[in-house]
Amino acid sequence: MSYKKIFLALAISIVIWTGFSFGVSDSGEVKEFDVVASQFRFEHDISANIGDTLRLKVTSSDVVHGIYIPDYDINEQVSPGQTTIIEFKVTKPGQVMFICSVMCGSGHMSMGGSFTVN
Ligand SMILES: [Cu+2]
């Protein structure tokens, strides 16, 4: 085998190995959670592992709210009677914070929540 062929074989196996590693660390799982916004809180039981794709089904039980997740640059409005679907992949461990982004009343400034990515 020439050096060229050996090098090519090595390069190909590195590409395959790297692709395989990424495949393993990526759970590829889609996890669905309900999130209920109300004055002045978010109710949810979100739990996630790195690589998960989260599908949040966000509803409001009273007035118009918003959900802003700065770490993932997501900001959506949540209107009563409608379901806002947010889908994103979690890529970092730790706490993910979110806050209400629509002025919804006197307690709006303190309306937020968080979940943990393991
Ligand atoms: Cu609000």
Cα–Cα distance measured from residue 31 to residue 109, given in angstroms and rounded to the nearest whole number: 29
Domain count, the chain: 1
Cα–Cα distance measured from residue 62 to residue 58, given in angstroms and rounded to the nearest whole number: 13
Q: Is residue 98 in some structural domain? A: yes
Residue span of the structural domain in which 102 resides: 26-117
The number of beta carbons lying within 10 Å of the beta carbon of residue 76 is 16
Query: How far, in Å, is the centroid of ligand 1 from the Cα of 109?
Result: 7
Query: How far, in Å, is the centroid of ligand 1 from the Cα of 80?
Result: 13
Prediction pTM value: 0.77
CB 96 within 8 A of CB 67: no
pLDDT (tens, 9 = 90+) of the chain, 118 residues, equals 566 665 555 554 544 444 444 444 566 779 999 999 999 999 999 999 999 999 999 999 999 999 999 999 999 999 999 999 999 999 999 999 999 999 999 999 999 999 999 9
Q: Is residue 11 in some structural domain? A: no
> Which helix or strand (DSSP H or E) is residue 101 part of?
none
Query: How far, in Å, is the centroid of ligand 1 from the Cα of 37?
Result: 9
Query: How far, in Å, is the centroid of ligand 1 from the Cα of 92?
Result: 26
CB 59 within 8 A of CB 83: yes
Q: Is residue 35 in some structural domain? A: yes
CB 40 within 8 A of CB 111: yes
- CB neighbours of 61 closer than 8 A, spacing ≥ 6? 36, 37, 38, 80
Q: Is residue 100 in some structural domain? A: yes
Q: Is residue 7 in some structural domain? A: no
CATH classification of the domain holding 65 = 2.60.40.420
Which two tokens mark 6? 């050996």
Query: How far, in Å, is the centroid of ligand 1 from the Cα of 106?
Result: 9
Q: Is residue 58 in some structural domain? A: yes
Q: Is residue 8 in some structural domain? A: no
Q: Is residue 55 in some structural domain? A: yes
